[in-house]
Each structure stands twice: as structure tokens, then as C-alpha cells.
Structure 1
Amino acid sequence: MPQPDPTPASVPEPAPQRLRLLSANIQAGSSTRRYSDYATRSWSHVLPAGKRTALDAIAALAGRHDIVGLQEADPGSWRSGFTNQTHYLAERGGFAFWSHQPNRRVGAVASSANGLLSRLEPVEVLNHALPGRIGGRGVLLSRFGEGTEGLVVAVAHLSLGAQSRRSQLAFISEVLHDYPNAVLMGDFNCTWDRPEMDVLYRGTGLQPPACAVHTFPSWRPQRAIDHILATRSLQCANMQALPAAFSDHLALSTELVVPAAALQR
């Protein structure tokens, strides 16, 4: 009589999941198509007129992605018609989950926030204020899997000054240090090879991008200052810049290959 095989059949590991990510500085839905617009169209930064049209275009772009990080999204002030733009984009883009992190307010006229839109439900969302000579910057962190092995997505908008960026990147490095499956995306206001970026690469598993994608200014991109950085355990593919309505930044899109274990709840 044949004997049963004592070795249990091997169970194949779950296949990695492919997610589409987008990072977009949406300039609160304002319109800037040339440098002179910063002066001649400065009214668009404080008045709500025309912003719904821009937001609808951004929502159409965001809706083709699974996780979206927003910078300069107005959380509800005069210039947005007291509309929480992150919430509006979540509804128009068909996202079940959203969160925002208000950072800077100028009276009741204007306000700015980081935002997250997601088709996946986060297990935790954390807000961290960033250091800097001038306050009002932050990093929005979301976890999509349990434990330190879970996928972590952080959204940030860094300062213009190199010294402030260095302290901000050092803070972010401490926050992301223990996460092997992490993504940091946003408007860094600097290229990936600036000296202050070294503190991020040394303190985390985040890797420099395989290629620099120019995103600023949107009408004639010459600088790669918007980034989606991932740890070495994740794979980015098809990184490309896309128009985010009339913002002065192009949005950055990529496909991210994530180990199935990083999304287990």
C-alpha cells in the first residue's frame, strides 16, 4: 500500500500587489501658466473663482490612481469658497478614504494642507509637525498594513531653505527609520541629489530615484523637485510627470509593486 507523503504541500506566496501612486502640488486650484502670472494673477490665490474647474480636472487625474498625496490643498478658507479641497477631490475621484493635515493659515483668506486620497483603508493616520525656521510645514503618515512590515506612505511639503529642509529630512528619517516598506512623496523644493537629502538616504531605506523627472515649472519643466521615493523592498515603474490642471507643478505618477505581506491586516 502506498504511504502518504509526510511532506506537506508547499503553499505559494501571495503575489505582490501593483498600486498606482500620484503626488501633486495642486496650488489650491489656482492658475499659474507663466512666471508673470505670480504677479498678474495673484488674485487667483485669494479668490475662489475658477477653482472648481481646476479641481474637477485634478479629480479626473487622481481617479486613475490608488493612493494620492496632495500638497497645497486648501482645507477650507475664503480662497476655496470654504471647501475642503481634499474632501472634494475624494468625492469627485471616487476615493473611499481621505485625510488631510492643515499646516498654515493666513487669517480666513487662505489655508494650506497636505492631503491623502486612498482606495485602501489605512490602519492608522498620523500627523507630524516639521521643524523649521518658519512653522507651518508637516508630514502626513498613513499605514496600510499591520506592524513594522506594513506599507507606510508619507506625504510632505518641505521648506525653500536648505537648512530648514535638512532639519525636516532628519525628522522624517527618524519617523520612517523602522519601516522597511515605506514611500515618501511630495514637493521637496529641491532635487534628489542635494546634500541635505543624504540624511534621508542614510537614515532610512529610501532610495534615490532611478531617473529625475522634471516637474517645475509646469509650463516649461526644468527642475525635478517633486519626488516619490521608495525603500529598496518596493519597486517603482513608469515614473512620469502629468499636468495637474493649472498648477505651477506637474504631478508625479508611478506604479508601485508592493509585497503582499506589506498590506496584510
Structure 2
Amino acid sequence: MNVKAEQLEMNLAEGSASSSPWPLTIATYNIHGAVGSDRRRSAQRVAAVLRQIDADVVALQEVPMGDEHIPDILSAITDLTGYQAVAGPTIDHQHRRYGNAVLTRHPIRAVRNVDLSFGSSEPRGALDADIECHGHLLRVVATHLGLRPAERRNQVKRLLETFDTDTMPVVLLGDLNEWFVWGRPLRWLTTRFQKTPSPLTFPSLRPVFALDRIWLHPRERLVRVWAHNTRLARQASDHLPLVAHIGR
């Protein structure tokens, strides 16, 4: 075992109370297939928005990963930004590869895909990654939930059963598609993670819904959450990116 790996194990053994992957800037962004409010597809424009944000870790939703009709948007974005990428396709066959992704500037130590599909609805999932930040592991769970209330309730229950918030710091983020402010999925998540700010992110041209969310444990590290509302971001997708700063 090398010195760096030994130190990482020592950090983990000390427990979550002393683990400190902070400070970090994290973001979640539904890129809508890189199709903007002008109905034009542009990976370059999405990449330019990501460069504006300059986050350490980014969760992406609705990401084309290359098929017979649409180019590999994820590869184009990583080429343009320099991020490492982990793909979590929810649709994965020769005619279409599409779903979630996580971009990061830090080493990725483990990746798990969680199937959240429900009945005959569009396949959904979560990308669950352990990322080493400043010598400590951070668990990043990136997801995109379904459109129907019953579907989202089922998915949040299953998602919360797959991980805990005690073994290491956890970020849960993504497009929750939850239109109901007092819906059960949001209440369950608040019970687990405590209440967090929920800026409006959809639709990007005139936001009226807080569909995109960032949750953190430990909650006290969450310093600020905001929608990245710039002219370019309003054009690049039908969602605005949601950004959070996590402090020491």
C-alpha cells in the first residue's frame, strides 16, 4: 500500500465527523440533450456554461452518449472542459445510449449504478460514485426521477434504502421532477438531510419550479445554493444549473 492510499484509509477509519473533503463547489444540470431554448443542439454551449460555473463536481441529466442519430455529447463536453466523466446510462442499447453522468476534477474511487425504473415508465436510475476530494471520500449520488407522483415516491424510497449518511459525507443531487412543494418525496428527503435552499430552475427562460435539488450531509457545511442564471445558461438548456458551495 502506498502512502497516499494508507492516509486515505486512516481518514476513513476516523469516521465522518472528522472527514473533510471541503471546500468544494458542486452543481447539478439537466442539459436537455444539449438542446437549448432556441431548439439548437450545442455541446459547446453546455461546456461554456460549465466553464462559467467552474465546479469541482457536476451531476448531469438527459445526456446523449452516442448513437446512430445523436453524437456523443458527454465525450464532447469532457473534451471541451477537461473533466473526468462517469457515465450512468438509463437507456443503453445500440440505437440509443442516454442518461446521467458525473463530471469531476478529483479522482473517482468507486462507481455504482442504481436502477430506479418503475413499471412501464421511462427507465430511471442513480449514479452513485465515491470521489476522493482533498484526501477524503465524498459520496455523490446523482439522479433524475420520473414524471409521475407514484413513480417518484417509489424511487425516493428505493434511493434512500441504498445508502446511509453515516459512513461518509454524502451529496444527493439531480433533477427530482417534484412539482409539489409538500409532496412526500421532498418531506422524506428533508427528514434525512434537513431542509436546504431550493432556487427556481425550470423553465430556464422564466423559472417557476424548483425541480433541481442539492442535498448534503452534514448539512452545516452547505454555505450557499443558487441558480446559475446567465444569458448563456438560459439559452443552453430548458433547465438552469443549480450550484452549491460547501465550506469547511
- Common fold: TM-score over 0.5: yes
Q: How many angstroms apart in 2 are the aligned matches of 1:158 and 1:123?
A: 25
Q: Point out the more displaced range, 173-182 or 51-60.
A: 51-60
Determine if contact 2:175/2:212 at 8 Å carries over to the other structure: yes
Match of 2:51 among 60, 65, 68: 60
- 1:74 partnered with 2:64: yes
Determine if contact 1:21/1:255 at 8 Å carries over to the other structure: yes
1:93 maps to amino acid: T
**Which ranges of 4 or more aligned residues in structure 1 deviate by more than 6 Å?**
13-16
Determine if contact 1:68/1:117 at 8 Å carries over to the other structure: yes
Distance 1:14 1:53, change over 3 A: closer
Q: Point out the more displaced range, 67-76 or 170-179.
A: 170-179
Listed as ranges, the matches of 1:114-133 within 5 Å are 114-133=100-119
Listed as ranges, the matches of 1:168-179 within 5 Å are 168-179=155-166
1:198 maps to amino acid: R
> How far has the Cα of 1:79 moved from its partner?
4.4
Partner-residue secondary structure (3-state), 2:108: coil
2:88 corresponding residue in structure 1: 101
Deviations 1:204-240 (A, max 9, x none): 3x2221x320000000001111001112355222311
2:55 maps to amino acid: H
Listed as ranges, the matches of 1:108-257 within 5 Å are 108=95, 110-133=96-119, 134-144=121-131, 150-179=137-166, 181-191=169-179, 193-202=182-191, 204=192, 206-209=193-196, 211-242=197-228, 243=233, 245-257=235-247
Deviations 1:34-71 (A, max 9, x none): xxxxxxx5xx5xxxxx4244334244235x11001000
1:24 corresponding residue in structure 2: 29
Determine if contact 1:18/1:255 at 8 Å carries over to the other structure: yes
How many equivalent residue pairs? 222
Distance 1:59 1:77, change over 3 A: farther
Q: How many angstroms apart in 1 are the aligned matches of 2:19 and 2:127?
A: 29
Partner-residue secondary structure (3-state), 1:163: helix
Determine if contact 1:55/1:245 at 8 Å carries over to the other structure: no
Q: How many angstroms apart in 2 are the aligned matches of 1:145 and 1:53?
A: 28
Q: Percent identity?
A: 24
Distance 1:78 1:198, change over 3 A: same
The higher radius of gyration belongs to 1
Determine if contact 1:241/1:251 at 8 Å carries over to the other structure: yes
Distance 1:15 1:137, change over 3 A: closer
Q: How many angstroms apart in 2 are the aligned matches of 1:220 and 1:100?
A: 30
Distance 1:187 1:252, change over 3 A: same
Distance 1:52 1:208, change over 3 A: same
Distance 1:244 1:104, change over 3 A: farther
Determine if contact 1:31/1:246 at 8 Å carries over to the other structure: yes
2:82 maps to amino acid: G
Q: Point out the more displaced range, 67-76 or 132-141.
A: 132-141
> How far has the Cα of 1:145 moved from its partner?
5.1
Q: How many angstroms apart in 2 are the aligned matches of 1:86 and 1:221?
A: 26
